[in-house]
Amino acid sequence: MGKTTGFLEYERMDGPVRPQEERVKDFCEFHGPLDESERVKQAARCMDCGVPFCQAGMLISGMVSGCPLHNLVPEVNDLVYRGRMKEAYQRLSVTHSFPEFTSRVCPALCEAACTCGLHGEPVSTKENEKAVIEYAFEHDLVKEDAPIVRTGKKVAVIGSGPSGLAAAQLLNRRGHLVTVYERKDRVGGLLMYGIPNMKLDKSVIDRRVKLMEEAGIRFVVNTDVGRDIHAADLEKEYDAVVLACGASNPRDINAPGRDAAGIRFAVDFLSEVTKKLLDGKSETFKDIPYDLAKDKDVIIIGGGDTGNDCVGTCIRLGAKSVTQLEMMPKPSEERLASNPWPEWPKVLKTDYGQEEAIWKFGSDPRIYQTTVKEFVKDKKGNLKEVVVVSLKAQKDEKTGRMSMVPVEGTEKTLPAQLVLIAAGFLGSEKYVTSDFGVETDGRTNVKTEAGRHSASVKKIFTAGDMHIGQSLVVRAIAEGRSAAKEVDEALMGYTNLE
């Protein structure tokens, strides 16, 4: 696979990025492609390692190691190295529904498990994946042909995020008549409104949806299932229903003063920014809704991808200052012995938003082991300050579990006119699960047998975050594909979906 000595001859190189001073002025994508000669070198670094953990996609110590889609990474890299881009796309598309999404937003689980990463830098598989899919689109290789024969079976998919789209794609290819319901005004779910445009340009979603529509998939937007239309109606009309609504119930911060004006959930904020950009119809996204954060002191509660996206977004909106609070201690800069390869590396990561904050404000925006103790309002009820407190790890004597508890006397007051809560999600929304009457587990995810997608109600299936809880786009796609196979088998008695 690749060049036998490629990993010894070539250093890892990622695609170029636009400089901070340029990219913070708009919401356009800022990651560029490698040139062809350099891309070939990067593919050459994929060694014939014998045991390619990159494609394993298994849980190790509760963390996913390798690609959940089981992409045959060495084979794709080998074809890229040999300049056979059409065959590389064909190989990739056997296991992957939407490489154009993951090659932009995935944290690259494949790279974290790459054998080259054990003693050096992993292969730039994510860059190679993006090169393959963009080559395929540029050369009209990406097709979504309508099936020659229809089965006569009708399937409704509720939610048009990555899991819903993946399920719809495979079920339509099998010949079933698929309708996708989306409560927002545009198709894409989390991809469209939960991820900023500079990370995933929305035209990338639109071009894929257009192909799916041309292949016979029907999309119904502005329709909130469970409110605008109900389970009983769908169960009469369709032979199967796939619930793929995501884990869209946000975790709140219940501190005094929570009712102050100026406190928002992060995804709601990101969604509003994206919608205003799209509604403004500016091809370069220069019609920026500055009013949402300009000249404000912003505090973001949460240190994950969504928190980082909020940092980058607020900088683009002209925030006066940006502070990001993280409950957990600062990670180590290198792997600890307790976190061996090929586990996901629990090391310090400085993402694009933090990089931009360092450039603009001169320091990392993150404050570790800290949370909000109180929100302070002015006389009009608007947020003006936040009282934060340091945290320490403490063992619960009854349960034996470690938890982060406040340290008395460490309170500090920070100015804040906007707080964005990016503290994760609790699971699915009750009005949907109640309408369908499906059982949920302790985390409010739709309950199924282990490794299965059929819910407690006949004809109802589930996939994605609504099934496994808040996770990654790549896991959602894998979930959608797996659910499609189970639905197909239930409808036809067997499945030939891969």
3-state secondary structure of 454: strand
Q: Average of pLDDT values for 117-136?
A: 96
Q: What are the residues facing 419 on neighbouring strands?
A: 263, 299
pLDDT of residue 256: 98
Parent domain of 356: 252-423
Task: With cut-offs at 50, 70 and 90, classify the pLDDT of residue 282.
Answer: low
Is residue 149 included in any domain, yes or no? Answer: no
* 110 pLDDT above the threshold of 90: yes
Q: In this structure, are 49 and 121 located in the same domain?
A: yes
pLDDT of residue 287: 76
Number of domains in the chain: 3
pLDDT of residue 281: 66
**Cα–chain center distance at 455:** 24
Task: Among 104, 138, 172, give the residue marking a domain's end.
Answer: 138
Dihedral sign of CA atoms 76, 80, 82, 86 in order: positive
Task: Among 423, 449, 464, give the residue marking a domain's end.
Answer: 423
pLDDT of residue 498: 83
Average pLDDT, the chain: 95
Written as six digits, the tokens of 222 are 């502005």
Task: With cut-offs at 50, 70 and 90, classify the pLDDT of residue 284.
Answer: low
Is residue 147 included in any domain, yes or no? Answer: no
Q: In this structure, are 376 and 465 located in the same domain?
A: no
Q: In this structure, are 296 and 380 located in the same domain?
A: yes
Written as six digits, the tokens of 395 are 């063992």
Q: Average of pLDDT values for 202-207?
A: 98
Q: In this structure, are 292 and 367 located in the same domain?
A: yes
* 182 pLDDT above the threshold of 70: yes
Q: In this structure, are 159 and 296 located in the same domain?
A: no
Residues 48-90 have pLDDT tens digits of 788 899 999 999 998 999 999 999 999 999 999 999 999 999 9
pLDDT of residue 283: 62
Work out the angle between the directed axes of helices 266-279 and 305-316 (0-180°, nearest 10).
Answer: 50
Q: In this structure, are 268 and 243 located in the same domain?
A: no
Pairwise CA distance, residues 396 & 414, whole Å: 30
Written as six digits, the tokens of 383 are 């947020």
Is residue 143 included in any domain, yes or no? Answer: no
Pairwise CA distance, residues 43 & 288, whole Å: 38
Q: Of all residues in the chain, what percent carry a pLDDT higher than 90?
A: 92
Is residue 488 included in any domain, yes or no? Answer: yes
Task: With cut-offs at 50, 70 and 90, classify the pLDDT of residue 397.
Answer: confident
φ, ψ at 482 (rounded to 5°): -65, -40
Is residue 430 included in any domain, yes or no? Answer: yes
Is residue 227 included in any domain, yes or no? Answer: yes
Q: In this structure, are 21 and 121 located in the same domain?
A: yes
Q: Average of pLDDT values for 100-114?
A: 97
For residue 176, give Cα distances in angstroms to 152, 179, 204, 239, 337.
6, 10, 25, 10, 50
Q: In this structure, are 265 and 409 located in the same domain?
A: yes
Helices (H), ranges, 10-122:
20-23, 36-44, 73-81, 85-95, 99-105, 109-112
410 CB-side CA count, 13 A: 14
Residue type, 68: P
Task: With cut-offs at 50, 70 and 90, classify the pLDDT of residue 1.
Answer: low
pLDDT of residue 409: 96
Q: In this structure, are 439 and 407 located in the same domain?
A: no
Residues 215-266 have pLDDT tens digits of 999 999 999 999 999 999 999 999 999 999 999 999 999 999 999 999 999 9
Q: In this structure, are 244 and 321 located in the same domain?
A: no
* 5 pLDDT above the threshold of 80: yes
Pairwise CA distance, residues 333 & 324, whole Å: 19
Is residue 297 included in any domain, yes or no? Answer: yes
Residue 485 sits in a domain whose CATH number is 3.50.50.60
Q: In this structure, are 168 and 272 located in the same domain?
A: no
* 47 pLDDT above the threshold of 90: no
Task: Among 398, 423, 448, give the residue marking a domain's end.
Answer: 423
Q: Of all residues in the chain, what percent carry a pLDDT higher than 70?
A: 99
pLDDT of residue 254: 93
pLDDT of residue 400: 84
Written as six digits, the tokens of 300 are 């973001």
Residues 410-460 have pLDDT tens digits of 999 999 999 999 999 989 999 999 999 999 999 999 999 999 999 999 999
Residue 48 sits in a domain whose CATH number is 1.10.1060.10
Q: In this structure, are 312 and 356 located in the same domain?
A: yes
pLDDT of residue 445: 95
Q: Average of pLDDT values for 20-29?
A: 95
Pairwise CA distance, residues 43 & 298, whole Å: 41
